[in-house]
Amino acid sequence: MKKQALLAAMATALLISYPLGAKANETIRSLEQETIGVAENVKVDAPVSVHDFIQYALDELTYQHGSKEMRDQIVQQWTSADPLEFKKQITKGELAKVLIHALNIQEQEKSISDYLQSAKINGLLKVYSQANETVTAEELEGIIENAKAFASKDVDNKGVKEISVEDFMKNPGELGYSMSPDGEYISYMSEWENRRNVFVKKMHEDGEPIRVTSSTDRDIRGSFWKDDHILYLKDKGGDENFHLYSSSFNGQEERDLTPYPGVRVEMISSLNGVENEILIGMNKEDPTVFDVYRLNVETGELDHVAKNPGNILDWLTDNEGKIRMAIESDGVNSTVLYRETEEDEFKPFVQTEDGDIISPIAFSKDNQSIYALSNKGRDKVELVVFDLDANEKVLYANPQVDVLHAFYDKKKDTILAGLYTTDKMHYEFFDKDLESSFNKLKDKLQVSESELSLNDYNEDLTKFIVAVTSDKEYGTFYYYDSTTDELTKLTELASWLDRDAMADMHPISYTSRDGLTIHGYLTLPKNKKPEQLPLIVNPHGGPWARDMWGFNPEIQLLANRGYAVLQVNFRSSTGYGKAFTDAGNKEWGLKIQDDITDGVQWAIDQGIADPDRIGIYGASFGGYATLAGITFTPDLYAAAVDYVGVSNIFTLLDTIPPYWETVRNDLYKRVGHPVDDKELLEAVSPVFHVDKIKTPLFVAQGANDPRVKQAESDQIVEALKKRGVDVQYMLKENEGHGFHNEENKIEFYNAMIEFLDTHLK
């Protein structure tokens, strides 16, 4: 048994003696472990209580260091247990039972004396003890060390068999499953002519699927059903000016429904119940803003529905397909607008303040209420409903993190479920039927809540497409009919990858130098001791985004090559509340970079990372953080990979896509103003400090990138080459913000692995 499973099993055994609430069970079972040392808050000769053990488990047996709020929340979640139980002391009999079950030494129930004897025989307890003897902190550390030695005896530190870059990076197979409106057909994307295309097949029939698209230049980005048509989005060479295409049901006719050069399409509403018509947004008249158009997908006829005055960020239809709500913004402050009919003028509905978010989801069936996500007047985004007088009622709030998404069902006229992510994804159900089907699927598939996702369902909530994913599972799709209780496996992504060879992704946390709790993930190479490993820190893009637990082919590729990989949700990351995001304002290269540096130092201090073999690799903002890392902490990194990253914040702000103009003021607030903050931006733009860079660097860039222009990479490469710094440059003429064509991805990751191995091994 892997040692990271030890705590989970220990916790499970503890639950036998201490009956806990369901949420507590789920929380403690999700913990992963690695012993670091004796807990500082427990005297070495003091008996360990249940409460102390929970603290010990978080502080010393997991990678969740410095997470006081998590410790407090776990303790509070034990609502069904008697609080006095937590003051009771753990006995050696209980601990022996926990360890024997945790290490799979004995699965059947035995007497306590048998557990004690087995623990002594297997070296967990050095002397035979009485069952009711208490355990001191010092004894507990020794016992855990013995258990670690037993659990890791099958780790030979040789890693696992090397898997090719091609196997990680080639198209994984069939994905993007979606049901037709009647639930009788499904569509999905799969490879044809080396590109991702759309296929359709009838459920419960063995006939060959029909390919309905024929793209050979770019992958189809996404597709969806509209009556008997498949609609899909595709850009040209990575320019992100997505056009909307249609294909007939039998794939005999494809056409570009928005054949306007340099114009980008955004979906507004599929107008369920309205035959052949949808609402789209296009920046056809003004490249900086999106007007609303009604598009007939059968004839291609286009009607101009709403003119954007220049400050509208988003539109919302009511249940009759009428544009009734809009969000206007100056880039910092915004106002939700409302009107009774499409003939009326918009009027202010709710005014937000700096940092507030209100995201309308849907009108209720009678158009008298609006469901939304909002953090107005509070730190976390919550699920709310407004009446037409803008009175708000909170439907669901999570004290730890933002609510990310909600499922509204028009037929039932209710919110079915909310979605939020702590270390992993979780659901909060409001519909008993959906919850029952979800739990039945969990049991059938023998997976946790965080591993099961709802991809699609019919309006009766009887037919579902679901996916099972995890840190080691790329994704397996299923079709489920609840009326017959029939579960059909559709496909397994990247079936050629050995799941047993994939690496575990551990949730971690640590305390930043100024006292913030920083969360993230640590992926450790399989069959390697977590000691003095080469480490790649991988800052995410955005920076207004966050890393999530789940399968990541590039992280698994690095782990397969023997690297530990650290992903950090530094300040400015989203999902942790308004204050945490705002803490990153005008901190590019400063406190944000400190959070990343502190994470690397944490991994070094734990003995996980070899300080002489630290690399940094990131894309977009992560590419900026890569350049900032080797500029402002040049002695920390031995290799760096900048993928479509920013080198000069002035040129970044000067060349944003035209449709970002409505949020320019927000960029100035969060990044800095090129005039008012000139000194700041000069100080944190790596291109002005190339004299400090000495780390070998690999840069990759798409020539058609609309967000981070090619000049961002050109200028840093040119400046470094003039200084004689080792810099490798890969430029792809047919790519944009990141490489999407399969052959380019494979070439890039092969080159990256060779580069990292050269400098870190």
Could you give the residue numbers annotated as active site? 620, 705, 737
pLDDT-based confidence at residue 568 (cuts at 50, 70, 90): very high
**To the nearest whole percent, how much of the chain has pLDDT over 70?**
88
- Lowest mean pLDDT segment, chosen from 123-137, 341-355, 648-662, 735-749: 123-137
What residues does 640 pair with on adjacent strands? 616, 697
pLDDT-based confidence at residue 75 (cuts at 50, 70, 90): low
pTM of the model: 0.87
Tell which wins on pLDDT, 29 or 433. Answer: 433
**To the nearest whole percent, how much of the chain has pLDDT over 90?**
71
DSSP class of residue 561? T
What gap in Å lies between CA 346 and CA 326, rounded to an integer?
8
CB 176 within 8 A of CB 223: yes
CA distances from 368 to 12, 314, 343, 412 (A): 48, 20, 18, 15
| pLDDT score of 131 | 82
What gap in Å lies between CA 150 and CA 35, rounded to an integer?
13
Structure tokens at 162: 């090397």
What gap in Å lies between CA 713 and CA 695, rounded to an integer?
16
CB 15 within 8 A of CB 26: no
CB-count exposure of residue 451 (10 Å: 0-12, 13-18, 19+): buried
- List helix spans (H) across 573-637: 578-582, 591-605, 621-632
Supply the angle between the helices 137-151 and 6-17 in degrees, to the nearest 10.
130
Tell which wins on pLDDT, 624 or 458. Answer: 624
pLDDT-based confidence at residue 132 (cuts at 50, 70, 90): confident
Mean of per-residue pLDDT scores for the chain: 88
What gap in Å lies between CA 363 and CA 367, rounded to an integer?
5
| pLDDT score of 353 | 84
Question: Mean of the pLDDT values across residues 343-359?
Answer: 91
Q: Token pair 């898997």 is at which residue?
A: 163
Read off the pLDDT of residues 695-727 as tens digits, 9 standing for 90 and up. Answer: 999 999 999 999 999 999 999 999 999 998 879
Q: Residue 510 pLDDT > 60, yes or no?
A: yes
Domains (ranges, CATH) in the chain? 3-151 (no CATH), 321-430 (no CATH), 504-760 (3.40.50.1820)
Q: Residue 23 pLDDT > 60, yes or no?
A: no
* Closest to 587 in 3D by CA, of 630, 628, 615: 628
What gap in Å lies between CA 7 and CA 127, rounded to an integer?
23
DSSP class of residue 634? T
What gap in Å lies between CA 204 and CA 421, rounded to an integer?
35
Q: Token pair 């202010």 is at which residue?
A: 348
Q: Token pair 């696992």 is at which residue?
A: 160
| pLDDT score of 32 | 32
CB 738 within 8 A of CB 702: yes
